[in-house]
Amino acid sequence: MTARVENDRRDDVASRRTSLALWFGLLGGPGAALASTMINYTAVDRACISDSSFVLHFLTVFFLVIAVLAGLTAWWVRQRVGDWPATAPGAFPRSRFMATVGILTAGVAVFGMILQWIPVFFLGACHGS
């Protein structure tokens, strides 16, 4: 790789936009899963009173979209950074590692939210009350 191309990639990885995308890719999936759990937990009472699970479905889909976007953002950053040896110093291997962890945590978050969504389909909002 030529020095000019490497400098351009280095500037791109060091840019504020890429840095924010990297952090969103890393933390967006788990943050969406946490927010989904917290907000859905409080929305169950309202859904039970209105005898409609629509709010729970809507919130789960909303947070699933955020987690998927975080995973796609991490994938995008990982593709932009490129292949670097894990022992290389600098921002490239670190960014690649963070993006890879972001892809994995977003996948786990999506899986967890889908698992939490299944009972809403079969049991509804007011099961047992």
* Confidence tier at 86 by pLDDT (50, 70, 90): low
**What is the DSSP-derived secondary structure letter of residue 82?**
-
Please report the pLDDT score of residue 38 as a whole number. 96
CB 11 within 8 A of CB 95: no
pLDDT tens, position by position, 4-32:
555 555 555 567 788 899 999 999 999 99
According to the model, what pLDDT value does residue 123 have?
A: 84
Nearest to 122 by CA among 61, 41, 45, 53: 53
List CB contacts of 57: < 8 A, sequence separation 6 or more.
117, 120
Domain boundaries, the chain: 16-123
**Residues 25, 27, 30, 34, CA torsion sign:** negative
